C-alpha cells in the first residue's frame, strides 16, 4: 500500500471524526469539497479485506474496520485515509494481538453471512459441535447451516413483504462441498 515509511499513530480514529456515505451526503445536501468517491474502489476493498482478516488476532481494530466496511460500495477519500490510519496504528504495535498456538487441536468453524441485496442482515461464526472425517464434510455442514438460516430468513421476508422476495443464491469457496451437493442431487438423496 506504500505505507512502509508512514509515521505510526497512537489512535485508530481521529477524535470526533464523522464518516458518512455518499447517499447520506446527497440526501442531507452536505458539501464534500475534496472528499469525492475514489476512482479505484478495488484498492479500498482489498485493504479492508486484509484488515478484516487481521481482526481475527487484533480485536482492538475490530470497531474501526467494521465501521469502514460499511462504505465498501462507494468509498470516499476520507474513508481510504481512515483505513490508512488503521494501518499506521497497527504499525505502532505490530506484535500486539492474540497469539494462536500452532499445536492446539482446532475444531472446524461454521461461518456464513446472509445479505439482502447489498445489506448484511445476518451472520454466524461458531465452532462445530461434531468432529468430521474430512474438511469437505465440515464445509458441507456449514453450507447446510447457511441454507437453514436462509430458509428461515426467506419465511420471515415472505410474511413482511410477499411480493418483494427474490431467489436465494448460496455461494461457497469449497469445491469439495459443492461436489458433495452435486453427487447427492444426482443420486436423488436428501441434500441442502
The residue count for the chain: 192
Which contiguous run of DSSP H or E holds residue 114? Answer: strand 109-116
The C-alpha atoms of residue 172 and residue 56 are separated, in whole angstroms, by 20
**pLDDT greater than 60 at residue 192:** no
Q: What are phi and psi of 124, to 5 degrees?
A: -155, 140
34 or 75, higher pLDDT: 75
pLDDT at 126 (0 to 100): 83
Query: What pLDDT digit, counting tens, does each position of 32-68 carry?
Result: 777 888 888 999 999 999 999 888 888 889 999 999 9
The C-alpha atoms of residue 141 and residue 147 are separated, in whole angstroms, by 10
- Cell 476520507 belongs to which residue? 78
CA dihedral defined by 172, 56, 74, 150, rounded to 10 degrees? 40
pLDDT at 183 (0 to 100): 67
Query: What pLDDT digit, counting tens, does each position of 128-162 carry?
Result: 888 878 878 888 888 888 888 888 888 888 888 77
* Stretch among 69-78, 141-150, 176-185 having the lowest mean pLDDT: 176-185
pLDDT at 82 (0 to 100): 92
Question: In this structure, are residues 83 and 68 in contact, taking their beta carbons and an 8 Å threshold?
Answer: yes
118 or 40, higher pLDDT: 40
Which contiguous run of DSSP H or E holds residue 116? Answer: strand 109-116
Distances in Å between the Cα of 159 and the Cα atoms of 115, 117, 152, 153, 169 are 18, 18, 11, 10, 20
Amino acid at each position: 500500500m506504500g505505507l512502509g515509511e508512514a509515521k505510526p499513530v497512537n489512535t485508530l480514529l481521529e477524535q470526533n471524526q464523522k464518516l458518512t456515505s455518499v447517499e447520506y451526503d446527497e440526501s442531507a445536501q452536505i458539501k464534500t469539497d475534496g472528499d469525492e468517491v475514489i476512482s479505484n474502489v478495488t484498492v479500498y476493498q482489498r485493504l479492508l479485506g486484509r484488515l478484516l482478516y487481521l481482526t481475527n488476532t487484533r480485536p482492538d481494530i475490530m470497531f474501526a474496520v467494521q465501521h469502514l466496511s460499511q462504505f465498501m460500495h462507494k468509498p470516499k477519500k476520507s474513508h481510504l485515509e481512515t483505513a490508512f490510519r488503521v494501518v499506521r496504528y497497527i504499525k505502532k504495535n505490530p506484535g500486539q494481538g492474540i497469539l494462536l498456538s500452532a499445536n492446539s487441536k482446532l475444531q472446524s468453524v461454521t461461518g456464513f453471512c446472509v445479505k439482502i441485496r447489498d445489506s448484511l442482515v445476518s451472520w454466524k461464526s461458531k465452532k462445530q459441535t461434531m468432529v468430521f472425517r474430512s474438511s469437505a464434510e465440515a464445509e458441507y455442514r456449514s453450507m447446510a447451516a447457511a441454507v437453514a438460516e436462509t430458509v428461515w430468513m426467506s419465511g420471515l421476508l415472505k410474511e413482511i413483504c410477499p411480493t418483494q422476495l427474490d431467489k436465494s443464491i448460496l455461494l461457497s469457496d469449497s469445491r469439495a462441498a459443492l461436489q458433495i451437493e452435486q453427487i447427492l442431487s444426482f443420486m436423488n438423496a436428501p441434500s441442502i
